[in-house]
Copies of this chain bind each other. A is one copy, B any other.
Amino acid sequence: MMHVELITIGAEILLGQAVNSNAAWLGSELSALGWPVARQTTVPDTAPAVEKSLEEALERADLVITTGGLGPTSDDLTKAAAARLFSISMREDPVLLDRIKTIFAERRSPFPPGAGVQALVPEGAEVLPNDWGTAPGLVLRSRPGQFQERSNMLILLPGPPRELRPIFACHVAPLLKRTFGTETAWSRRVFRTTGLGESFLEQAISDALPPLLEQGLDVGYCARPGEVDLRVMAQTSKAELLFGEFERVLRNRVGPYIYSDQNETLEEVVIQLLRHQRQSLVLAESCTGGYLAHRITNVPGASDVFLQGFVVYSNAAKQQLLGVSDNTLSRHGSVSEGAAREMAEGGRQRSGATCGVSITGIAGPGGGSVEKPVGTVFIGIALPSGTQVFQFCNAFDRLTFKEVTSQQALDLLRRGLKGLPWA
């Protein structure tokens, strides 16, 4: 198996000022290409730390990819560290310098002092053009014997995701395919489930797994708020057969809990169902505060089926915008089966959408009581066939509450649209 390592350069990641989304994105792309990452390291932007981590990785790996430290400020040190390690000097690339000057001219921005540093490249490095920013990607190849017996490859990429991602897609992926070929590749498939814990998933399939594992299937679990991914991997030559057998077992045991085998998000699946059924959607959210609308509108083309959303924090808004009744609010409160029902149905009637989803609950940290503790939530699903309301207790921090609750709402809508049992 080809050994790939990622190095993330930037104290902000170590200090927790930012999550390492680049490592996740590259990890996903590389495993989709068939070369899963074997190790990822984050180091601060100091010259000794960068150089040491590069050297260690180059002594182990066939391919090392770094992100970050290619910008114009004083803590951008990656190129110089790589040049020292490869014992090569730096040169100014006149084409790059012109391009950087043009970018600032087009933005009508003055050329900042120090921005020219981004036109320096190590001698002999292949330059990967950056059409989305100022710092190019760079490829260095070691001589046999320099770090390992055979030559290996170091690729330096800029840190900003909107530059890193297109450079990888346009330049790095084709380069890797040319260089490493597909015979080294592994295949992967992910089954996304919601509604069952990972222990129960494992238990449901455990008796059928051993023969598949013996034949080289690798199975992993990844639990996130409100969902568990089952991930299978195998050498590409054996993958079709093993994946097919695994899927047969999985669908047989826990079919209704699987919402995608295509790496889709639950919101993508729901939007597709709505589109295929020529349905439309209205959302009425209280405690999730727009998060469900945000998830829905993350899907390109959501506007085909999503008509409108209400974020109704106050009781007045629930009454005025959705027609929740005085009687329900005074007798049962805004967090109740009746309020959820009236919100879903009111949104559906007033918007003309065929499907209404409502969420009302107590996200916390404050606002709980003995009868309705923090985490209590009612989800209403109003479909042409009728309205159902479901109660959950999602006692989590505020963001996890939003994630889990929006997941439950989307899954209930999925089950309703597909005519699956509710749980």
Chain A residues with CB under 8 Å of chain B are: 10-21, 23-31, 36-45, 49, 53, 71-75, 112-115, 160-162, 188, 190, 198-200, 202-203, 206, 219-224, 229, 231, 283, 285, 288-294, 296-298, 300-303, 306-314, 316-317, 321, 351, 364-366, 396-400, 402
- A224 contacts across to B, CB distance below 8 A: 18
**Main SS at interface, chain A:** mixed
The complex is assembled from copies of this chain, and their number is 2
- A296 contacts across to B, CB distance below 8 A: 289-290
Judge whether A294 and B289 touch: CB under 8 Å: yes
Chain B residue nearest to A222 in the complex (CB) = B12
15 new A-B contacts at CB < 8 Å, known A14-B40, A15-B28, A162-B397: A14-B38, A14-B39, A17-B190, A20-B24, A38-B49, A40-B42, A45-B220, A160-B223, A288-B297, A298-B398, A300-B365, A308-B310, A308-B312, A308-B313, A309-B311
A224 and B21 alpha carbons, distance in the complex (Å): 11
- A162 contacts across to B, CB distance below 8 A: 396-397, 400
A188 and B44 alpha carbons, distance in the complex (Å): 15
A300 and B366 alpha carbons, distance in the complex (Å): 8
Judge whether A188 and B15 touch: CB under 8 Å: yes
Judge whether A38 and B44 touch: CB under 8 Å: yes
Judge whether B41 and A49 touch: CB under 8 Å: no
- A366 contacts across to B, CB distance below 8 A: 300-301
Asked, given contacts A15-B27, A24-B13, A300-B398, whether A311 binds B283 with beta carbons under 8 Å apart, the answer is: yes
- A222 contacts across to B, CB distance below 8 A: 10, 12, 17-18
Residue of B12, B26, B29, B231 near A229 (CB, 8 A) is: B12
Residue of B24, B31, B36 near A18 (CB, 8 A) is: B24
Q: A246 to chain B: closest CB distance in Å?
A: 15
- A200 contacts across to B, CB distance below 8 A: 112
Q: A347 to chain B: closest CB distance in Å?
A: 11
A288 and B302 alpha carbons, distance in the complex (Å): 12
- A21 contacts across to B, CB distance below 8 A: 19
- A294 contacts across to B, CB distance below 8 A: 289-291, 293-294, 402
Asked, given contacts A17-B231, A75-B221, A307-B314, whether A113 binds B203 with beta carbons under 8 Å apart, the answer is: yes
Asked, given contacts A162-B400, A298-B289, A309-B290, whether A112 binds B13 with beta carbons under 8 Å apart, the answer is: no
Q: A341 to chain B: closest CB distance in Å?
A: 20
Judge whether B42 and A16 touch: CB under 8 Å: no
A385 and B17 alpha carbons, distance in the complex (Å): 36
- A351 contacts across to B, CB distance below 8 A: 317
Judge whether B27 and A14 touch: CB under 8 Å: yes
Judge whether A15 and B43 touch: CB under 8 Å: no
Residue of B14, B303, B310 near A313 (CB, 8 A) is: B303
Q: A379 to chain B: closest CB distance in Å?
A: 17
Chain B residue nearest to A306 in the complex (CB) = B313
- A25 contacts across to B, CB distance below 8 A: 16
Judge whether B14 and A203 touch: CB under 8 Å: no
- A72 contacts across to B, CB distance below 8 A: 198-199, 202
Q: A390 to chain B: closest CB distance in Å?
A: 17
A341 and B285 alpha carbons, distance in the complex (Å): 25
- A364 contacts across to B, CB distance below 8 A: 300
Centre residue among A10, A114, A202, A301 by max chain B CB count within 10 A: A202
- A316 contacts across to B, CB distance below 8 A: 307
A40 and B291 alpha carbons, distance in the complex (Å): 31
Judge whether B20 and A16 touch: CB under 8 Å: no
Judge whether B24 and A16 touch: CB under 8 Å: yes
